Amino acid sequence: MRILILSSRSEKHSANLGYNVISALRESGHEVDFNFAGANTVLEKLQNVGNSWFAQQVQRVIDKYTSVRGLPMWKLRGYYEGAGYKFFVGDETKNVYSPKKLLKRLNGKKYDLIITMFFPDFLNMNSVEALCKSQNTPLLFFSIDDYPKTGGCYFCWNCQNYKIDCKYCPAFGGKEFSLAYKNAIHKKRIFSSYNIWIMVNSWMKRTFEQSSIINPNQLLLHSFIIDEDYYKPRNIELCREKFGIPSNKMTILSMRYQSMDRKGCSLAIEALNRLSSKMDSVDRAKLLLITFGDSFEGDVDFDVLDMGFVPTDTLLDIYCASTAFLSPSIGDAGPSTVNQSICCGTPVVAFEIGTAIDVIENGISGYRAAFKDVDDYAHGIESIITLNEQVYIKLRETTREMGLKKNSKKAFAQFIEKKFNKTNR
C-alpha cells in the first residue's frame, strides 16, 4: 500500500511513536511518506507564532482581558485553556494552516491510506475533510488521547459532556453552546460523512463508544506500538552493575515519578509503604526503588535511587535492571512506559486503566490492580517480588511474549493490512 502519515509533531515525538509506525509499515513492504517535503520548516514557523516581542505584548493584553472577564485563556496560536481543560486546536472551523496549502504540498500523489497522529498546528478537522475529499481513501486517527471524542480537549478528566455534543463545557464556564459545542458539531459532521476510522485501546474504547460525536462502528481496537528490536531483554546483572546496585539488593523496583496528579505516584508510594511495613528489617533492606523523571519527593523507609531525567538508552537499562516496573497512573491512555517495560521482559504493576487493560494479565505479564485500590496494588508488587527464581524467570519470558503479541511492529502492520489492504476493501 501507499500510505501517508501526517503529524504536527516529529517522528521522534512521544517515545518515537511516528518512527515506530513508519518502521512497522515499511518493514512489511509498504510505501510510506511521513508528512510532506518541508513540513518541519512549516511546523517551526507555526510553533513560533507568538514568540516575537510584539506578539508577547498582545498576549499579555489578551491574558489580562480574559482574566478580568473570567473567560478561558486564548493563545495566539489558537489554543484555549479554562478550568483545567486544554484545547490545543482552538476553533476547528477555522485554519491555522490552510488545507489548500496542505493538499498542494502533497503534489497530487494518491494514497491507499492516510494516518493522522498529532493535531496541533497544521492539522485540524478541516484538513481531514480536505484530505478525504481529494484522496477518496480511508483515513485513520491514530488516537493517543481524548481529542477525537471531544470538542477539542485532549484529556477530559471526569467530564461527561462528550456524550451530549460537549454542551455546557466547564472550560467555557458551563455555557451551553460554546466553542467546544461548535467544534463537536463540526467534527461530528465530518466523522459521519467520510471513510474515517479511529484506533483506540480497550480503555479508551469504553468512553469513545459513549461519545455523541463518534459512531462506535468507526472504532478499531489495537494497543500501542513499540520497537521490539530496541526494547528487548538485556542482561539483568550487567544492567544493575551500570547503576552500582549492590548484589544484596535482591528486589529492584522502578517507577515513573511525575508531579501530575493523574500519574498516581503518591498512590504507588503509599502502596510501597504499606508493603514495607509488613516486612522485617532484613527483607526491607533488600528493597530498592529506582525513580526517573521528576525529582523524587516521597517519604519512604527504604532505599531510593533517584535517576532524574535519563536518556532512552539508560531508561532501557533501568527497565532491564528492575524486578518490576510500577506504573500507578490513574488517568492515562498509556503510558507507553508500560509497553516499553513489557517488551523488555520486565513485568508491570498498574491499575486497571489505559494500556494496562490490553497488555497486563496477572501472573503472565505483571499485575493489574483494581482502580485506585492501594492495597491491591501493594499485593501486586508483593506477588512479583516474592516469586522463586524459576517462576520469576518464566514470568519475564511470558511478559516479553505479551509485548511481541500486542505491541510489536509486526502486530501493528498486520492490524493495518487486515483492515485497509486493497484486497480487503
Q: Diameter of the chain by CA atoms?
A: 70
Q: Which residues contact 390 (CB under 8 A, 6 or more apart)?
A: none
Query: Domain holding 268: CATH number?
Result: 3.40.50.2000
Answer whether 0.75 is exceeded by the pTM: yes
CA-CA distance, 331 to 353, in Å (whole number)? 7
Q: What is the pLDDT of residue 191?
A: 97
Domain membership flag for residue 140: yes
If one compares 295 and 280, the residue with the highest pLDDT of the two is: 280
Based on the fold, state whether residues 128 and 185 are members of the same structural domain: yes
> Distance (Å, rounded) from C-alpha 336 to C-alpha 350?
12
pLDDT digits (tens, 9 = 90+) for 187-233: 999 999 999 999 999 999 999 999 999 999 999 999 889 999 999 99
268/308 same-domain check? yes
Whether residue 149 lies inside any domain: the answer is yes
Pick from 228, 223, 222, 224: nearest CA to 344: 228
Contact 60, 50 (CB under 8 A): no
Do 261 and 184 lie in one domain? The reply is: no
Return the pLDDT at 320: 94
* pLDDT for residue 257: 67
CB 348 within 8 A of CB 338: yes
Residue corresponding to grid cell 463540526: 186
Tell me the pLDDT tens digit for each residue of 97-155. 899 999 999 999 999 999 999 988 889 999 999 999 999 999 999 998 899 999 998 88
The answer to the question of residue 84 being in a domain is yes
Comparing CA positions, the residue from 105, 122, 119 lying closest to residue 46 is 122
Q: 419 pLDDT exceeds 90?
A: yes
Residue 401 confidence (pLDDT) above 70: yes
Q: What percent of the chain has pLDDT over 90?
A: 65
Query: pLDDT grade, residue 423 (50/70/90)?
Result: very low
Tell me 199's DSSP state.
E
Based on the domain organization, do 77 and 118 belong to the same domain? yes
Q: Say whether pLDDT at 164 is over 80.
A: yes
Per-residue model confidence (pLDDT) at position 374: 96
Query: Are 201 and 310 in a shared domain?
Result: no
Query: 53 pLDDT exceeds 80?
Result: yes
DSSP 329-373: -SS-S--HHHHHHHHTT--EEEESSTTHHHH--BTTTEEEEPTT-
Q: Residue 330: its pLDDT value, please? A: 87
User: Would you say residue 231 lies in a domain?
Assistant: no
Q: What DSSP element (H or E) covers 214? A: none
Instruction: Give the H/E segment covering residue 314.
Output: helix 312-321
| Residues 245, 200 within the same domain | no
Please count the other Cβ atoms lying within 10 Å of the Cβ belonging to residue 162: 25
Tell me, yes or no, whether 250 and 181 share the same domain. no
85-94, 308-317, 385-394, 403-412, range with the lowest pLDDT: 85-94
Q: 310 and 271, same structural domain? A: yes
Q: What is the mean pLDDT of residues 397-414?
A: 96
* Residue range 22-45: mean pLDDT, rounded: 94
Averaged over 368-386, what is the pLDDT?
A: 96
Banded pLDDT at 251 (limits 50, 70, 90): confident
pLDDT digits (tens, 9 = 90+) for 60-79: 898 888 887 777 788 877 77
What is the rounded average pLDDT of the residues 347-355? 94
**Residues above pLDDT 70, as percent of the chain:** 98
Low-confidence winner among 91-105, 255-269, 314-328 (lowest mean pLDDT): 255-269
Q: Which amino acid, 8?
A: S
CA dihedral 227, 229, 230, 236 (to 10 degrees): 130
How confident is the model over 375-395, as a mean pLDDT? Answer: 96
- What SS3 class is residue 89? coil
Indicate the DSSP class of residue 331: S
Mean pLDDT, rounded, of the chain: 91
Q: Note whether 361 and 395 are same-domain residues.
A: yes
Q: What is the mean pLDDT of residues 166-186?
A: 94
Supply the pLDDT for residue 424: 46
Same domain, 293 and 308: yes
- Omega before 246 within 30 of 0, i.e. cis: no
CB atoms within 10 A of CB 233: 17
Residue 117's CATH number = 3.40.50
Asked if residue 416 and residue 399 are part of one domain, the reply reads no
* Nearest alpha-carbon partner for 302 in 326, 280, 327, 329: 280
Residues 201 and 247 in one domain: no
Q: Are 361 and 383 in contact (CB under 8 A)?
A: no
Sheet containing 219-221, strands listed edge to edge, beginning at the edge strand earlier in sequence: 31-34, 2-6, 113-116, 139-142, 196-200, 219-221
Range of the domain at 400: 236-407
Number of domains into which the chain is organized: 2
User: How many residues are listed for the chain in this entry?
Assistant: 425
Return d(Cα 297, Cα 24) in angstroms, integer: 39
